[in-house]
Amino acid sequence: MKILVPVKQVPDPNAIRFDASGTFASSTPRVVNEYDQYAIEEAIRLKESGAATEVVVMTVGPASARDAVNRGLAMGADRGLLVVATDSDLEAADVASIISAEARDGGYDLVLVGQETSDGGSGVVGPQVAAKLGVPIVSNVVSLEVGDGKLSLGREVEDGRVTVESPLPVVVCALTGLNDPRSPSLKGIMAARKKPVQETPIASYETNGADVSWGKLYAEERVVEGTIIETDAESAARQVVELLREKKLV
Amino acid sequence: MASGVLVVVETSAGDIRESSLELIGPARSLAGDGGVTALVIGSGVDAAAADVAGRGVDRVLTVDNEALSHYTTDGYTAAIEAAIGQVDPALVLLAGTTSGRDLGPYLAARTDSVCLTDCTTVRWDGSTLVGTRPVYQGKMLTDVSTTPSGVAFAVLRGGANPVAVAGQGSADVEALNVDLGDSLRVKVVDVAVPPAGDSSLDSAETVVVGGRGMGSAEGFAMLEELAAALDGAVGATRAVTDLGWRPHSEQIGQTGKVVRPKLYIGVGVSGAVQHTVGMQGAETIVAINRDKDAPLFKLAAIGVVGDLNEIVPALTQEIKAARGK
């Protein structure tokens, strides 16, 4: 079984701060999108258990996104693919086209992708890759077992835990809870330096251009006129109870 | 000429998923002169279809098949594509459930069409479809727009629109015959409904929710005390149930429960979209967090910035005193 893991480099969601104009500091650290780390970890575990023959980590992004590929290699993936694009080139449907072209040409059996990203966060890439490849999509996956030519997958959805069986090839979207992603070891980081990373310009892929355009970012207007309390705990508690009493909630 | 709106109504064990009913209001304003058709998908959906028919739609289609008793992308895709063929809508609206978030982009990619996902509102601006959606985990909003050449898809975030009320006319219900054959590639083999646990969470007037900021399973002891002082129930975010600090039955959000209490108190909860879809219907929201940029503060009538380990016990004390406990 050959596995493709598409990942995305995103601004660290714990560090990102927006100013009034809707922009954030270019110095905001970049990290591998959290859900994608679960996808990488699961793929590496399948390799370690002998179920997978090769794990390839792929990203579409600026040249600096190579760090995201390198992290996957340091965790244990075999090789990397970097499709170099400027930020403005990136529209989810285009990214899905590129990933599906790669998955088709590379003869992958499993595309293991994070459920959604912490930046755009629309979660469209997994379903769109599946549709373009003509293979099934199984999302919100929290457990994965390999059977004979098929996968048994646990999904966490509104009703609880649903177990499904899917033939291969398939696109699987990883949710947190699937595993506990490892941190790269020093040995892994050293080994990663010798692993091949193929760089390709985005122009070598067929994309349709932006179908959906994004406007400026802006802050949500306060839904309610709220009171923000920033004082010592005892006074804060008194004020909260006073306000709740006015609303007849205490 | 394509016109009107097709609303996809999901069911589970014959019951309508409530967020599907939040689509009817927006569909009405998006349909213009075209009609609003509801498509009810599932197994044994007669009662569900009759219910939807009375909630202000012009027409109801059903695809009723035992193979659709549980969601699969293939099954729902076949049903929706059959209905699109029948209705020829300009727009298909889906609820932002785990299923709807699969289906919108999947259906769009199958026909090289477009999908706006996770929108709180969607409107037509001439022939351009404009949606407002939260990005960066709810920290910011943006307007996404697209000028579709064929049928367009939009997925509306749960809890962002009111549930359509009953007693609004009675539309005709028509069964659509869809031959699924052996087209369902993914098979559902088991559905494990989590133990009800403290089922009072669904009906509690006060809900006290802890997030990752609680720091440990033990940290929830103080939330139980606060909830007890308010005769309320304890809930948790997905991060917390992932970590095993609390059972899945207490999870509120995208992959858990949707609650609409009178009072919601979020402690150490950042307020990511995945959680807020499950609680934004609360009447009064209180946020306690050390990070004053936490998105939950934007929804909060009362926000307390500071150390939850000091604030929660003080608040519990104060509430007990106020209620004479």
Report the distance separating Cα A45 and Cα A39, nearest Å: 10
The total of structural domains in chain A comes to 1
Across the interface, which of B107, B248, B311 has its CB nearest the CB of A233? B311
Chain B interface includes A23 (CB < 8 A): no
Distance from CA of B277 to the nearest CA of A (A): 12
Mean pLDDT, rounded, for A104-108: 96
Asked if residues A18 and A212 have their Cβ atoms less than 8 Å apart, the reply is no
The alpha carbon torsion through B182, A125, A95, A37 (nearest 10 deg) reads -120
Tell me the pLDDT band of A212, cut-offs 50, 70 and 90.
Answer: confident
* Structure confidence at residue A207 (pLDDT): 82
Taking an 8 Å cut-off on Cβ atoms, the answer to whether A211 and B146 are in contact is yes
Across the interface, which of B136, B141, B302 has its CB nearest the CB of A16? B136
Report the distance separating Cα B211 and Cα B269, nearest Å: 4
Chain B interface includes A138 (CB < 8 A): yes
> What domain range includes position A37?
2-204
Chain B interface includes A229 (CB < 8 A): yes
* Structure confidence at residue A95 (pLDDT): 94
Residue B195 DSSP symbol: P
Contacts of A51 (CB under 8 A, 6+ apart): A1, A146
Percentage of chain A lying above the pLDDT 90 cut: 80
Give CATH for domain B5-175.
Answer: 3.40.50.620
Distance from CA of A116 to the nearest CA of B (A): 10
CATH code where residue A30 lies: 3.40.50.620
Across the interface, which of A124, A226, A243 has its CB nearest the CB of B105? A124
Residue A191 has pLDDT above 90, yes or no: yes
pLDDT tens-place values along chain B, 325 residues long = 689 999 999 999 899 999 999 999 999 999 988 899 999 999 999 999 999 999 999 999 999 999 999 999 999 999 999 999 999 999 999 999 999 999 999 999 998 899 999 999 999 999 999 999 999 988 889 999 999 989 999 999 988 899 999 999 999 999 999 999 889 999 999 998 866 555 678 889 999 999 999 999 999 999 999 999 999 999 999 999 989 999 888 999 988 888 999 999 999 999 988 899 899 889 999 999 999 989 899 899 999 999 999 999 999 999 999 998 7
Q: Please report how many Cα atoms fall inside a 13 Å half-sphere around the Cα of residue A104, on the Cβ side.
A: 14
pLDDT digits (tens, 9 = 90+) for A7-44: 999 999 888 888 888 899 999 999 999 999 999 999 99
B87 φ, ψ to 5°? Answer: -95, -30
Assess whether the previous peptide bond of B148 is cis (omega < 30° from 0): no
pLDDT digits (tens, 9 = 90+) for A168-185: 999 999 999 899 999 999
Instruction: Using alpha carbons, list the distances in angstroms from residue A15 to A27, A38, A119, B49, B103.
Output: 10, 21, 12, 47, 32
Residue A223 has pLDDT above 70, yes or no: no
Report the distance separating Cα B117 and Cα B105, nearest Å: 8
Asked if residues B250 and B198 have their Cβ atoms less than 8 Å apart, the reply is yes
Q: Which residue has the higher pLDDT, B197 or A190?
A: A190
- For residue A244, the surrounding DSSP H or E stretch is helix A233-246
Contacts of B160 (CB under 8 A, 6+ apart): B22, B119, B120, B121, B280
Handedness of CA B17, B271, A92, A192 (dihedral sign): negative
pLDDT digits (tens, 9 = 90+) for A124-181: 999 999 999 999 999 999 999 999 999 999 999 988 899 999 999 999 999 998 999 9
Number of H helices, E strands in chain B: 11, 17
Q: Where in chain B is the domain with CATH 3.40.50.620?
A: 5-175
Which site among A178, A249, A250 would you substitute to test the B interface, given the most B Cβ atoms closer than 10 Å to its Cβ? A249
A73 found inside a domain: yes
Taking an 8 Å cut-off on Cβ atoms, the answer to whether B304 and A211 are in contact is no
Residues of B in contact with A227 (CB under 8 A): 301-303
Chain B interface includes A115 (CB < 8 A): no
* Contacts by B304-307, CB closer than 8 A, 24 or more apart: B304/A228, B304/A229, B304/A230, B304/A236, B304/A240, B305/A228, B305/A229, B305/A230, B306/A230, B306/A231, B306/A233, B306/A236, B307/A233
The ipTM value here is 0.93
Q: What CATH architecture does domain B200-322 belong to?
A: 3-Layer(aba) Sandwich (3.40)
A24 found inside a domain: yes
